Amino acid sequence: MIRPNFDDIFMELAVNLAKRSHCIKKHVGAVLTKETRIISIGYNGPPSGTHNCDEEFPVEGCARDNKGSCTLALHAEQNAILYAVKNNTSVEGSTLYVTLAPCLACARIIFSMGIQRVIYMYSYAEYKGLPFDEGLEFLKKFGVQVDQYEKEIKFEDNLI
Ligand SMILES: [Zn+2]
Ligand SMILES: [Zn+2]
């Protein structure tokens, strides 16, 4: 039997969480860990108890901002961080596993919250057609350890 390492376990969980997203465009999952324990999870979507974009706007899609992003959704990283904070769990020194590299707005939050390391699977810049991953650059510049997850985990349609 193959004994999986924690990077694989947490990234597989992030991939599975992404599948729960109601976003009509992009499904992203995030897992927040400290040492080898999970302290929070999240996937992208409007705050819980508000909207389910795919069910409410199946034809026209939800309203978009000028960058083409959903105007209602919190990003997976934001959902994971906010849930931890709401429950009085410190995220200082934690590691974030996320299926899509953090955008700049999330990077600012990740840095401010004292998250120490980010492991991501896909490039946000590639997905958005941007010249470079400004979120990752921001994190690196201010001392957050950033690593791309190297292995292949099967993703479906909306997942890239
Ligand atoms: Zn939406
Ligand atoms: Zn973001």
SS3 of the chain: CCCCCHHHHHHHHHHHHHCCCCCCCCCCEEEEEECCEEEEEEECECCCCCCCHHHHCCCCCCCECCCCCECCCECHHHHHHHHHHHCCCCCCCCEEEEEECCCHHHHHHHHHCCCCEEEEEECHHHHHCCCCCHHHHHHHHCCCEEEECCCCCCCCHHHC
pLDDT of residue 159: 54
Cα gap 153→160, rounded to integer Å: 12
Task: Average the pLDDT over 26-40 and give the result.
Answer: 96
Ion ligand 2 neighbours (CB, 5 A) are 75, 103, 106
Which ligand is closest in space to the CA of residue 76?
Answer: 2
Entry pTM: 0.92
pLDDT bin (cut points 50, 70, 90) of residue 156 is low
Is-catalytic flag, 77?
yes
CA of 81 to the centre of ligand 2 (A): 12
Specify the residue for token string 């590299």. 101
pLDDT bin (cut points 50, 70, 90) of residue 158 is low
How does pLDDT run across 51-62, given as a tens digit for each residue?
Answer: 999 999 988 888
pLDDT of residue 157: 53
CA of 49 to the centre of ligand 1 (A): 14
